[in-house]
Structure 1
């Protein structure tokens, strides 16, 4: 093939562009200092506190290295507390500190609003389908790499 590809027909290119839109909205309307990945970790701990870092990585679909860096940073900022598991001293459990709960609460409604804004480009009856397609794509691709 000797001609240029029409990248506007390629899923990866369009996903990257959609991620750019999300990142821009996040920075503008949610936080310039807390990333959406950091928020995902805070949210996982808000939902299921007292879990280990491996579980946080699984719940957030982040790789273990990225999760480690995020947890370390949020711990240094006093948003996450690490404690030894009393039943298995080899495990460290993570919970939100009161400051972490406040941070999560301060970001959650804005995060929800930009999600609504992103979905607003679709007619109401298509939004569940869009979420379903994105979920299927994310699950299939993450499952094929494990």
Structure 2
């Protein structure tokens, strides 16, 4: 017979709880209408103007379908422009519109503040170590299961 897991020592449960804390802080202090995933897309495009949609998906760790949905929504709201790459018509190149630049600029200070708020549960001297641990976890590739590639 199996025993119950101690959820306070179960990494997946704690990661989910940490995400709930982040989402709550995001909604309260950054935006109730722009999600952190949407902000991540804006941020990557701000940093790499003219990137194609697949690159943005990769850099934001979003699957292609989710990235496509977010890009479509942000372009419908006139925060992103989409243009076909003249060299490869299959690629969609992304850029921030003026409204997108203004939105990114408005949200960035609050996003930085909640990052500091999340890390504030640790002594400041440990912040770099915590970020290295989180980065290492985020780099973990999912396990492949039964016959899928």
TM-score (norm 1): 0.94
In 1, Cα distance between equivalents of 2:90 and 2:65: 19
In 1, Cα distance between equivalents of 2:90 and 2:132: 38
Q: Please list the CA deviations of residues 109-146 of structure 1 after superposition, one character each: whole Å capped at 9, or x if unmatched.
A: 0000000000111011111111000101110235x568
Q: CA deviation at 1:89?
A: 2.6
In 2, Cα distance between equivalents of 1:141 and 1:16: 18
Aligned length: 145
In 2, Cα distance between equivalents of 1:128 and 1:107: 23
Q: CA deviation at 1:24?
A: 0.1
Structure ranking higher in helix proportion: 1
Structure 2 gaps, min length 5: none
Aligned to 1:12: 12
Q: Within 5 Å, which residues of 2 pair with 1:27-46?
A: 27-46=27-46
Structure 1 runs of 4+ aligned residues shifted over 6 Å read: none
Structure 1 gaps, min length 5: none
| Contact 2:53/2:91 (8 A) holds in 1 | no
